[in-house]
Structure 1
Amino acid sequence: MKKKTALVMKKSVTGVMLVSALGFVLAGCSSNNNGNSGSNSGASPSASAASTADTGKKSTGNFNEEGLPIVNEPVTLNVLTVRWGDMGDSFTKNTFLQDLEKNTNVKINWQVMSSNDWNDQKSVMLASGKLPDVILGDIAYGDSDIVNNSSFFRPLDDYIDKYMPNLKAAMEESPELKKISTFPDGKIYSLPARLPSRPLTQNQPVINKAWLDKLGLKAPTTVDELYNVLKAFKTQDPNGNGKADELPSSNAGDIDMFLLAPFGITDLRGNHMLIQDGKPVYYPTSDQYKEGLKWVHKLYEEGLIDPETFTQDNTMLTAKRQNPDAALVGFTYQWTPDAVFGKWSDQYETIAPIAGPDGKRYQEGDPDGLSYRRNELLITTSCKTPEVAARWADQFYTGEASIQNFWGAIGSAITKNSDGTYVLNDPPAGTSADAWYWDGSLRDFGPKYVSPEFEKNIKLDPSAGDGLKLEIDKLGKDDVTTPFPNVMYTADEYQELPQLTTDIDGFIASTRAQWVTKGGIDEGWDAYVKQLNDMGLPKLIKIYEDAYNRYQNIK
Structure 2
Amino acid sequence: MKRKAVAAVLTAVMVASMFTGCGSDNGSSSAKSASAASAASAANDTVDEDGKVNGIMYQEGLPLVDEGDYTFSIFCDDSSESGEFIMLDEFKKQTNVDVDLKIYPYETATERLNLDLNSGDYADVIGGWTLSDNAILTYGVNQGVFIPLEDYFEKYCPNISAILDLPGVREKMTAPDGHIYTIPYVCTDTTVGYSPYINTKWLENVGMSMPTTTDEFEAVLKAFKEQDANGNGDASDEIPFSTDPNNKHIEAMAGYFGLPMNKLGIAIQNEKVVYGGVSDTYREFLSWFHKLYAEGLVDVELYTQDSSTWEGKGNQDLYGVSIAYGSNEFTGIPAAEERGDFDSMPVLNTDKDGIWLRDTEGFSVYRTQAVITNKAEHPEIICRWFDNAFALENGIGCNRGPVGVIVNKEDDGYHAIDTTTLSEEDQEKYSWGNLWPQSLPKYLPVDFEFVEEHPMYDEKKATEEAYEANLTKEIIPSYWIDLDKIDTFSDTNTAIKDFFEQQQAQFVCGELDIDNDADWQAYVDGMYSLGLEDWVATQGIEEIAK
Fold agreement, TM-score > 0.5: yes
1:43 Cα offset (Å): 1.8
Q: Are residues 1:80 and 2:73 paired? A: yes
Q: Which digits, 9 at most, give the CA deviation of each residue in 1:24-66, with x for residues without a partner?
A: xxxxxxxxxxxxxxx999722469999x9x99xx99988776x
Which residue, 167, 181, 185 being the options, matches 1:193?
Answer: 185
Q: Is the 8 A contact 1:252 1:311 kept in 2?
A: no
Cα gap change, 1:296 to 1:255, in 2 (>3 Å): farther
Cα gap change, 1:476 to 1:42, in 2 (>3 Å): same
Q: Which digits, 9 at most, give the CA deviation of each residue in 1:309-349, with x for residues without a partner?
A: 668645776676555xxx55433323333432469999732
Which residue, 61, 67, 89 being the options, matches 1:68?
Answer: 61
SS in structure 2 of the partner of residue 453 of structure 1: coil
Cα gap change, 1:503 to 1:61, in 2 (>3 Å): closer
Corresponding letter in the other structure for 1:164: C
Which residue, 534, 537, 544 being the options, matches 1:539?
Answer: 534
1:289 Cα offset (Å): 1.4
SS in structure 2 of the partner of residue 476 of structure 1: helix
SS in structure 1 of the partner of residue 183 of structure 2: strand
SS in structure 1 of the partner of residue 184 of structure 2: strand
Q: Which digits, 9 at most, give the CA deviation of each residue in 1:129-183, with x for residues without a partner?
A: 6866x516325765555443332332122333333332222223242x4354333
Number of the residue aligned with 2:42: 44
SS in structure 2 of the partner of residue 260 of structure 1: helix
Larger Rg computed on CA atoms: 1
Number of the residue aligned with 2:389: 396
Cα gap change, 1:170 to 1:510, in 2 (>3 Å): same
Q: Are residues 1:249 and 2:249 paired? A: no
Counterpart-to-counterpart distance in 2, 1:386 and 1:362? 46
Counterpart-to-counterpart distance in 2, 1:442 and 1:538? 41
Q: Are residues 1:334 and 2:324 paired? A: yes
Q: Are residues 1:493 and 2:483 paired? A: no
SS in structure 2 of the partner of residue 288 of structure 1: helix
Corresponding letter in the other structure for 1:212: L
Q: Is the 8 A contact 1:136 1:446 kept in 2?
A: no
Counterpart-to-counterpart distance in 2, 1:44 and 1:98? 24
Q: Is the 8 A contact 1:272 1:284 kept in 2?
A: yes
Which residue, 283, 305, 315 being the options, matches 2:297?
Answer: 305
1:536 Cα offset (Å): 3.2
Q: Is the 8 A contact 2:45 2:53 kept in 1?
A: no
1:285 Cα offset (Å): 1.8
Counterpart-to-counterpart distance in 1, 2:490 and 2:413? 46
Cα gap change, 1:450 to 1:225, in 2 (>3 Å): same
Number of the residue aligned with 1:452: 446
Q: Is the 8 A contact 1:70 1:392 kept in 2?
A: no
SS in structure 1 of the partner of residue 405 of structure 2: coil
Q: TM-score, normalised by structure 1?
A: 0.70
Q: Are residues 1:287 and 2:280 paired? A: yes
Is there any run of 5+ residues in structure 1 with no aligned partner, and where? 1-38, 102-106, 549-555
Counterpart-to-counterpart distance in 1, 2:351 and 2:270? 16
Number of the residue aligned with 2:97: 108
Q: Is the 8 A contact 2:38 2:374 kept in 1?
A: no
Number of the residue aligned with 1:379: 372
Q: TM-score, normalised by structure 2?
A: 0.71
Q: Is the 8 A contact 1:251 1:309 kept in 2?
A: no
Identity across the alignment (%): 23
Aligned residues: 488
Which residue, 416, 424, 428 being the options, matches 1:430?
Answer: 424
SS in structure 2 of the partner of residue 82 of structure 1: strand
Cα gap change, 1:522 to 1:123, in 2 (>3 Å): closer
Corresponding letter in the other structure for 1:68: G
Counterpart-to-counterpart distance in 2, 1:541 and 1:41? 33
Counterpart-to-counterpart distance in 1, 2:352 and 2:296? 22
Q: Is the 8 A contact 2:72 2:376 kept in 1?
A: no
1:250 Cα offset (Å): 4.4
Q: Is the 8 A contact 1:194 1:372 kept in 2?
A: yes
Cα gap change, 1:338 to 1:87, in 2 (>3 Å): closer
Cα gap change, 1:344 to 1:439, in 2 (>3 Å): closer
Q: Which digits, 9 at most, give the CA deviation of each residue in 1:255-282, with x for residues without a partner?
A: 94454342244444x2121233454322
Corresponding letter in the other structure for 2:394: A
Counterpart-to-counterpart distance in 1, 2:456 and 2:192? 17
SS in structure 1 of the partner of residue 273 of structure 2: strand
1:108 Cα offset (Å): 1.0
1:409 Cα offset (Å): 1.7
Number of the residue aligned with 2:19: none
Counterpart-to-counterpart distance in 2, 1:526 and 1:120? 31
Counterpart-to-counterpart distance in 2, 1:297 and 1:115? 33
Number of the residue aligned with 2:21: none
Corresponding letter in the other structure for 1:429: S
Number of the residue aligned with 2:6: none
Number of the residue aligned with 1:419: 412
Instruction: Name the Cα RMSD after superposition.
Output: 4.6
Counterpart-to-counterpart distance in 1, 2:257 and 2:373? 45
SS in structure 2 of the partner of residue 333 of structure 1: strand
Counterpart-to-counterpart distance in 2, 1:225 and 1:232? 11
Counterpart-to-counterpart distance in 2, 1:262 and 1:159? 48
Q: Is the 8 A contact 1:363 1:480 kept in 2?
A: yes
Which residue, 207, 210, 215 being the options, matches 1:219?
Answer: 210
